[in-house]
Structure 1
């Protein structure tokens, strides 16, 4: 099989491109409150971001039985549905859209790999310009969630890429571990849910402190790959 000569950048969404820190914490707190559970602090919530929702909520409240977990997951979703009904939309991080446009203009292929469900992915692809920029999108509803490498394997297949030409860019150790398992370059960003140290422990080769720094790292990868 002949692969494309253009590099592929696969992006996480929450905490990498979109600032969903406040809304995810709010939804977890509202879901817990509805069930009479203590509201989790932000530090507990941030550690489960990126996992599929069922897995994430089970990690957050490991003592729940199957029925309780189903209610907890439903409560989390209901909280987000209320937010969206009120017109809420998580903002992009400053510089995110310019960064994506710049990569697209420079010939990179772009894809998404996220712990969101398909409905959440569709909501994000409705953002101005996203549907034209991203060649494919992959989420936990499509199969195993992070840190299983299934989403990255699917992204490479959809974009005619191999591991040597692919970079995974995320903000959590789950993203980095997924990348390592898929044999692609794991890169992190410092402005999301996990610390740089946590991401490096998960396998991240570099954690960028800005989109400008990320551009430099990706330029170096593109040169070495070419």
Structure 2
């Protein structure tokens, strides 16, 4: 009987792609457009990974729902404008190579769970030539915001993979908390928008500093049949 594949789910912004320029510029433009005080850059980056509604509520909790909706609409239009103008949203070094390597394995299914809209996520996947790689794509349009585990539960249901054979890879505490709530392993990457301490407190089973380290750790886990062999250690 064939063994169950491992479902490896990636966050996008801050994990696969360095989207901070577009995110910060679009958010600050949206607040300025409505005559609101501009949120600091570091505050904006801390919301990356949340749904837009949750992000705006975090940045400006006293705004009415109608104003929040206006910010969200303006933000999405500005993001699209910047991407159409080919503004930079580069992938981190080694990201594309790792995805290609994992997609070629018979014992792996790839997924994405992101705070992006479905339109934004699919555009990112298509523009980078990843359309055939992902078996499931979960977005902020499909589920409650991270860290709620619905995105992961839906990914598991779509692929038929159980929690014990699922790994979530992300750069924020929201990703690690989501993995923990879904009874799955969480791997934190340290090149994104939350600190090592935050990732650890949120329950990361492994922290990695590069895609080379991530590939080594994943291959070890896949070949050994264990998803959590490096509990709370940092792979150099």
TM-score norm. by structure 2 comes to 0.90
The aligned counterpart of 2:218 is 218
The answer as to whether partners of 1:173 and 1:202 remain within 8 angstroms in 2 is: yes
The aligned counterpart of 1:42 is 41
The aligned counterpart of 1:69 is 68
The verdict on how the C-alpha distance between 1:112 and 1:4 changes in structure 2, with shifts beyond 3 A counting, is: farther
Unmatched 5+ residue regions in structure 1?
Answer: none
The aligned counterpart of 1:8 is 7
The verdict on how the C-alpha distance between 1:4 and 1:128 changes in structure 2, with shifts beyond 3 A counting, is: farther
- Cα distance in 2 for partners of 1:128, 1:77 equals 20
Higher normalized contact order (CA 8 Å, seq sep 6+, divided by chain length): 1
- Cα distance in 1 for partners of 2:136, 2:59 equals 30
| Runs of 4 or more consecutive aligned structure 1 residues displaced over 2 Å after TM superposition | 223-226
Unmatched 5+ residue regions in structure 2?
Answer: 227-236
**How do 1:51-62 residues align onto structure 2 when only pairs under 5 Å count?**
51-62=50-61
CA-CA distance at 1:4 after TM superposition: 5.5
- Cα distance in 2 for partners of 1:64, 1:30 equals 17
The answer as to whether partners of 1:171 and 1:194 remain within 8 angstroms in 2 is: yes
- Cα distance in 2 for partners of 1:3, 1:193 equals 39
The aligned counterpart of 2:139 is 139
For residue 87 of structure 2, give the secondary structure of its aligned residue in structure 1.
coil
- Cα distance in 2 for partners of 1:85, 1:170 equals 26
- Cα distance in 2 for partners of 1:74, 1:57 equals 12
Of stretches 215-224 and 97-106 in structure 1, the one that deviates more from structure 2 is: 215-224
Of stretches 141-150 and 69-78 in structure 1, the one that deviates more from structure 2 is: 69-78
The aligned counterpart of 1:161 is 161
**How do 1:1-226 residues align onto structure 2 when only pairs under 5 Å count?**
5-107=4-106, 108-225=108-225
- Cα distance in 2 for partners of 1:23, 1:85 equals 12
For residue 186 of structure 1, give the secondary structure of its aligned residue in structure 2.
strand
- Cα distance in 2 for partners of 1:4, 1:80 equals 42
CA-CA distance at 1:127 after TM superposition: 2.6
- Cα distance in 2 for partners of 1:4, 1:61 equals 48
- Cα distance in 2 for partners of 1:113, 1:175 equals 9
Of stretches 66-75 and 132-141 in structure 1, the one that deviates more from structure 2 is: 66-75
Of stretches 37-46 and 114-123 in structure 1, the one that deviates more from structure 2 is: 37-46
TM-score norm. by structure 1 comes to 0.94
The answer as to whether partners of 2:168 and 2:185 remain within 8 angstroms in 1 is: yes
- Cα distance in 2 for partners of 1:169, 1:54 equals 23
